[in-house]
């Protein structure tokens, strides 16, 4: 997508007066940034902060888009839970954003997006009848329906089985190409496959991790993917200094 801006964030975040993180984060335009770190280090908080959601703490600092235009209305969001509304059909779920804004739902575009994620045959079904993977594909179609240049993904594939997760990673990489993507993940393998930039968040700050020289989407079993994954895992387990 042309014109996807990057995001710069500098600042510190405190929860109940205690410092959660003090970071300088540079999310490059039109690329995939994978944000890794241990649980509770504040990965999702960064994402929520930029989205304008409640973080339960105080942030002192600033963030802005690299094109200096406001970020409001330019970020779409996909969470770990698919958040599909059980009483609506899959198609109606895809275009729920338009309804929530009081706009025309644009069903034809929603149908095309469902086709793109391979769910056109299930458009009329209720989410409860779909498998976990299909539900996440529907959630991805809903994210695409927003048609925004920046996409925030908060561990969207972590609840899926390994095979479905790999499929979803490939689908997401394909359909989100050209957008600025921030993926919060616990999974070094996911980061090694998808990232243009890997940022590891610790209590001391955010640091960029060297990514394989091959472009994403990388093969799961490619030596450079496996090596990156192993080194990241070692680092996250505290067995290796930052590369």
Which residues make up the interface to another protein (CB under 8 A)? 48, 51-53, 72-73, 75-77, 79, 81, 83, 85-88, 96-97, 99-102, 126-129, 146, 152
CB-wise, 83 or 236, nearer to another protein? 83
CB of 31 to another protein, least distance (A): 21
CB of 9 to another protein, least distance (A): 17
CB-wise, 81 or 131, nearer to another protein? 81
CB-wise, 135 or 218, nearer to another protein? 135
Q: Which residues neighbour 36 within 8 Å (Cβ) at sequence distance 6 or greater?
A: 43, 185, 186, 188, 191, 198, 199, 200, 201, 209, 232, 236
Closest listed residue to residue 39, CA positions, set 68, 85, 80, 10: 80
Structure tokens at 21: 């993180």
CB of 231 to another protein, least distance (A): 33
CB-wise, 157 or 209, nearer to another protein? 157
Q: Which residues neighbour 73 within 8 Å (Cβ) at sequence distance 6 or greater?
A: 148
Which 8-state DSSP code applies to residue 35? Answer: E
How many residues comprise the chain?
243
End-to-end CA distance of the chain: 32
Q: Which residues neighbour 102 within 8 Å (Cβ) at sequence distance 6 or greater?
A: none
CB of 99 to another protein, least distance (A): 5
CB of 145 to another protein, least distance (A): 10
Closest listed residue to residue 12, CA positions, set 238, 204, 177, 170: 204
CB-wise, 86 or 215, nearer to another protein? 86
Report whether 119 contacts 140 (CB < 8 A): no
CB of 46 to another protein, least distance (A): 14
Instruction: Name 78's bridge partners.
Output: 153
CB-wise, 132 or 220, nearer to another protein? 132
């Amino acid at each position: 997508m042309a014109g996807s801006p990057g995001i710069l964030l500098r600042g510190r975040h405190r929860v109940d007066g205690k410092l959660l993180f003090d970071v300088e984060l540079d999310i490059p335009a039109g690329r995939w940034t994978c944000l890794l770190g241990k649980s509770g280090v504040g990965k999702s908080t960064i994402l929520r902060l930029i989205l304008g959601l409640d973080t339960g703490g105080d942030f002192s600092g600033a963030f802005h888009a690299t094109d200096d235009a406001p970020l409001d209305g330019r970020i779409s969001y996909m969470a770990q839970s698919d958040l599909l509304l059980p009483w609506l059909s899959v198609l109606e779920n895809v275009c729920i954003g338009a309804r929530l804004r009081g706009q025309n739902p644009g069903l034809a575009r929603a149908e095309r997006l469902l086709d793109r994620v391979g769910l056109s045959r299930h458009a009329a079904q209720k989410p409860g009848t779909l498998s976990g993977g299909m539900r996440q594909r529907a959630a991805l179609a809903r994210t695409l329906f927003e048609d925004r240049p920046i996409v925030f993904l908060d561990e969207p594939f972590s609840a899926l089985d390994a095979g479905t997760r790999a499929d979803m990673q490939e689908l997401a990489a394909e359909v989100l190409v050209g957008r600025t993507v921030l993926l919060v993940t616990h999974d070094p393998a996911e980061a090694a496959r998808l990232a243009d930039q890997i940022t590891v968040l610790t209590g001391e700050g955010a640091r960029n991790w060297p990514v394989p020289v091959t472009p994403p989407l990388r093969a799961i079993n490619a030596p450079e993917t496996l090596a990156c994954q192993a080194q990241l895992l070692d680092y996250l387990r505290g067995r290796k200094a930052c590369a």
